[in-house]
């Protein structure tokens, strides 16, 4: 890209650090901005109006069973109460605040005041929830911000050292020294915290878990959504590896990977029985 806006990434005065870099058109800043707007403006995943849970045994035929019908079926001839049936069937949920059925892996966000499909967390940095439909964009935003801040830190390092040398001889103004130190420290702090965040999310993706589900997973003997590392990553980034680091999906992935819609998620047993949809 051309001239980078001065001060956008705490790089101090223009001409100094930036003059040392030879930036190409593949500047991470382009992908950072693209990913940021994708995660901010894309709906993380809303529950369709009048959505009703579809029983696993009816998925192949496409027959759906409403929640009251399901509870009625399970309690008929049984001593279990409807609430006990609901507990035994964690995928079948109901949000008392939205007064609507909840698809599997869906959670209510108290900030957005609505249910979000495969909710990961509510992010104040992007002023949006992170869910099934924008999780990849959020991850790419983290990756490109990490690359950008690392690049800035490396670029600023010689200036940081040089400015300290000049500070000893009092040949630099206190204002310039403060800007350089501040820019270096902020970029370094962002880069270090982002790498920790990225490692955490890579670990979550490798087991097909969200930040919310990590507590449920610890209680489960076998996490049923864990399809194996490769498939788990494809559930988030798509099967087209050429687009893994681009904030978009191919038409085939949108059509074939049901997890991207946030309503149906293949389980380990689907894979084992060969009846998975994706």
Candidate residues 4, 40, 65, 98; the one interacting with Zn ion per rule CB under 5 A: 98
Q: For residue 11, what are the CA distances in angstroms to 77, 101, 151, 231?
A: 70, 49, 10, 39
Residue 118, CA distances (Å) to 34, 44, 126, 161, 184 in order: 23, 8, 17, 46, 37
Judged by CB under 5 A, does residue 182 bind Zn ion?
A: no
Sign of CA dihedral 86, 92, 95, 98: negative
117 binds Zn ion (CB under 5 A): no
Active-site residue, from 123, 129, 133, 196: 123
Cα gap 153→155, rounded to integer Å: 5
What does the alpha-carbon distance between residue 72 and residue 47 come to, in Å, rounded to a whole number? 23
- If binding is defined by CB under 5 A, does position 129 make contact with Zn ion? yes
* Among 251, 146, 128, residue whose Cα is nearest residue 197: 146
Binding of residue 212 to Zn ion (CB under 5 A): no
If one asks whether residue 47 binds Zn ion (CB under 5 A), the answer comes out as no
Give the distance, in angstroms, between the CA of residue 27 and the centroid of all CA atoms in the same chain.
Answer: 22
* Binding flag, residue 118, Zn ion (CB under 5 A): no
Full DSSP string of 224-241: TT---HHHHHHHHH-S-G
Q: Is 228 left (phi over 0), alpha (psi -120 to 50) or beta?
A: left
Least distance CB 107 / Zn ion (angstroms): 8
Which of the ranges 33-41, 85-93, 96-104, 165-173 carries the binding residues for Zn ion, by CB under 5 A? 96-104
* Residue 111 interacting with Zn ion (CB under 5 A): yes
To the nearest whole angstrom, how small is the minimum distance from the Cβ of residue 233 to Zn ion? 25
Nearer to Zn ion (CB atom), residue 119 or residue 236: 119
Contact window for Zn ion (CB under 5 A) among 55-63, 114-122, 169-177, 215-223: 114-122
Contact call for residue 123 and Zn ion (CB under 5 A): no
**Catalytic site includes residue 109:** no
Nearer to Zn ion by C-beta: 129 or 259?
Answer: 129
- Quick check: 40 binds Zn ion (CB under 5 A)? no
Total residues contacting Zn ion by CB under 5 A comes to 10
Q: Which residues bind Zn ion (CB under 5 A)?
A: 95, 97-98, 108-109, 111-112, 115, 122, 129
Catalytic residue annotation: 123
């Amino acid at each position: 890209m051309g001239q980078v806006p001065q001060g956008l990434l705490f790089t101090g005065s223009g001409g100094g650090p930036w003059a040392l870099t030879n930036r190409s058109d593949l500047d991470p800043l382009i992908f950072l901005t693209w990913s940021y707007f994708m995660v901010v403006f894309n709906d993380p995943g809303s529950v369709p109006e009048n959505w009703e849970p579809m029983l696993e045994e009816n998925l192949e035929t496409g027959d759906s069973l409403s929640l009251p019908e399901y509870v009625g079926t399970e309690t008929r001839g049984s001593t279990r109460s409807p609430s006990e049936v609901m507990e035994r069937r964690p995928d079948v949920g109901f949000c008392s605040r939205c007064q609507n059925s909840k698809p599997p892996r869906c959670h209510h966000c108290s900030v957005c005041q609505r249910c979000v499909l495969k909710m990961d967390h509510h992010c104040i940095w992007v002023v949006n929830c992170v869910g099934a439909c924008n999780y990849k964009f959020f991850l790419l935003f983290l990756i490109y911000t990490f690359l950008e801040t690392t690049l800035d830190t490396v670029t600023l390092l010689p200036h940081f050292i040089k400015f300290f040398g000049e500070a000893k001889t009092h040949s630099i103004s206190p204002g310039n020294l403060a800007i350089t130190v501040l820019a270096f420290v902020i970029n370094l702090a962002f880069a270090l915290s982002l790498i920790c965040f990225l490692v955490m999310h890579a670990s979550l993706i490798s087991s097909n878990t969200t930040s919310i589900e990590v507590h449920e997973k610890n209680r489960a003997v076998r996490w049923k959504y864990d399809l194996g590392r490769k498939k788990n990553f494809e559930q988030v980034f798509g099967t087209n590896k050429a687009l893994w680091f681009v904030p978009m999906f191919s038409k085939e992935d949108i059509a074939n990977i049901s997890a991207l819609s946030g309503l149906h998620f293949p389980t380990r047993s689907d894979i084992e029985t060969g009846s998975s949809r994706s």
